[in-house]
């Protein structure tokens, strides 16, 4: 297939991405590429991170937003722009608009994390909180565009957005010319489509693999059907790729150029975020860590060298705390147990002495004395422990049983 001329199902070509790269010079950072020794050992070949979490505004979204708004006619710029987003796209549109001197209005859900709302305002947008889910927020933004004449800036379903995101692909080839596989998180598909256009035009031998959260994986059934489908989604920590339906424009490109779309579990996402933080010293949001989750889930499935695109790092600190706990539990670093003890002085101290011998760190202790299932002299103790991994969890449980305690499910 030629990449020099437009194609009905292929509205973005390599020249568009190269033009976007020139437009973004001095605006978007050329983000660094960092190697991962841990994942390289696991996969058996070099693994690199493309750190878009270190991009201005904390994600790749600035790239597409800036290219899209730059392409507006003078009368469109005068009318301003409007967007709907829970975070990354909001900040990208806000900063791009400020840099280009365009008025921006951004609708965000009422429950959007406060740091993201504050950052979007600081980048210059008029933030309006509306709706409790993104679909309601999106409808409000589109109604605002209809009523005021402001240009609606879609987060992924526009050729200029895709061309801007495709500059990530050009940088990958420049920074890691030996790459054989590129892994990228997929929501609506704008980033994956843009990267695929750039990479496949210059290196058709390189595999481009998309990754979705199992709870919001619209692409696999859509690709099977041959057209975008809206699906019922479940809650996922990867809110940045929580999209019910693929975009029409990126879908055609993903269908033609992306080699495969995989899914990852919530446990794999939280483990991936924990790995990025502990091993790479990188703050990455769950959606941004989805390529790492795919590597952890099936390290033997990818031909190296591999580049995993860390698409964003905007994560609310409270959510980060919950995710890290989840990730540590998934990695066997937390252990919760329930035991029944005789309710007498010193019983708890004896139990804690057993845990001390096996070097388990007690995080929390809960007592239940009023459950009707308990005997008159019994107390139920719930323990939350920090451990060193799955083998240590087994060692702790065995030590308790050997000491005569019944470990309850």
Supply the residues annotated as catalytic.
61, 311
Angle at 43 between CA 39 and CA 46, to 5 degrees: 70
Q: How far apart are CA 162 and CA 158, in angstroms?
A: 6
Q: How far apart are CA 206 and CA 79, in angstroms?
A: 42
Output the 3-class SS for 58-127.
Answer: HECHHHHHHHHHHCCCHHHHHHCEEEECCCHHHHHHHHHHHHHCCCEEEEECCCCCHHHHHHHHHCCCEE
Two tokens, residue 44: 């058996």
- E strands, 311-406, are 334-342, 361-368, 378-386
Q: How far apart are CA 309 and CA 173, in angstroms?
A: 13
The residues, any chain, with a CB within 8 Å of residue 357's CB and separated by 6 or more, are: 399
The DSSP code for 344 is S
In degrees rounded to 5, what are phi and psi of residue 316? -65, 135
In degrees rounded to 5, what are phi and psi of residue 81? -125, 160
Q: How far is CA 123 from the centre of its chain?
A: 22
In degrees rounded to 5, what are phi and psi of residue 129? -90, 125
Q: Strands across the sheet with 181-185, in order?
A: 33-35, 47-51, 306-310, 181-185, 207-213, 260-264
Establish how many alpha carbons lie within 13 A of residue 126's alpha carbon, considering only the half-sphere containing its beta carbon. 10
Q: Which residues pair with 256 in a beta bridge?
A: none
Q: Is 239 exposed, middle or buried (0-12, 13-18, 19+ CB in 10 A)?
A: buried
């Amino acid at each position: 297939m030629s990449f020099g001329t437009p194609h009905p199902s292929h509205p973005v070509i390599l020249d568009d991405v190269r033009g976007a790269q020139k437009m973004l010079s001095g605006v978007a950072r050329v983000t660094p590429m960092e190697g991962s020794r841990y994942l390289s050992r696991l996969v058996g070949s070099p693994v690199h991170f493309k750190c878009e979490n270190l991009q201005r505004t904390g994600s790749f979204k600035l790239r597409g937003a800036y290219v899209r708004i730059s392409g507006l006619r003078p009368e469109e710029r005068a009318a301003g722009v409007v967007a709907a987003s829970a975070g990354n796209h909001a900040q990208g549109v806000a900063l791009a608009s400020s840099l280009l001197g365009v008025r921006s209005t951004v609708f965000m859900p009422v429950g959007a994390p406060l740091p993201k709302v504050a950052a979007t305002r600081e980048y210059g947008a008029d933030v309006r909180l509306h709706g409790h889910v993104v679909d309601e927020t999106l409808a409000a933004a589109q109604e605002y565009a209809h009523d005021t004449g402001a240009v609606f800036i879609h987060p992924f379903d526009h050729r200029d957005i895709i061309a801007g995101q495709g500059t990530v692909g050009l940088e990958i080839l420049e920074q890691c010319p030996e790459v054989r596989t590129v892994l990228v998180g997929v929501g609506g598909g704008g980033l994956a489509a843009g990267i695929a256009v750039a990479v496949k035009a210059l290196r058709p031998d390189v595999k481009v693999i998309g990754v979705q959260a199992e709870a919001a994986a619209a692409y696999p059934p859509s690709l099977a059907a041959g057209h975008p489908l809206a699906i019922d989604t479940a809650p996922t920590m990867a809110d940045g790729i929580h999209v019910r339906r693929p975009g029409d424009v990126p879908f055609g490109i993903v269908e033609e150029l992306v080699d495969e779309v995989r899914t990852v579990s919530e446990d794999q996402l939280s483990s991936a975020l924990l790995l990025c933080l502990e091993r790479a010293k990188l703050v990455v949001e769950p959606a941004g860590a989805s390529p790492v989750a795919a590597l952890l889930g099936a390290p033997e499935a990818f031909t190296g060298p591999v580049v995993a695109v860390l698409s964003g790092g905007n994560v609310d600190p409270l959510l980060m705390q919950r995710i890290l706990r989840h990730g540590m539990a998934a990695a066997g670093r937390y252990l919760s147990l329930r035991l029944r003890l005789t309710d007498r002085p010193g019983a708890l101290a004896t139990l804690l002495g057993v845990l001390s011998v096996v070097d388990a760190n007690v995080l929390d202790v809960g007592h239940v004395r009023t459950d009707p299932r308990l005997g008159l002299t019994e107390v139920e103790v719930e323990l939350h422990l920090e451990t060193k991994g799955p083998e240590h969890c087994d060692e702790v449980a065995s030590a308790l049983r050997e000491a005569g305690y019944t470990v309850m499910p």
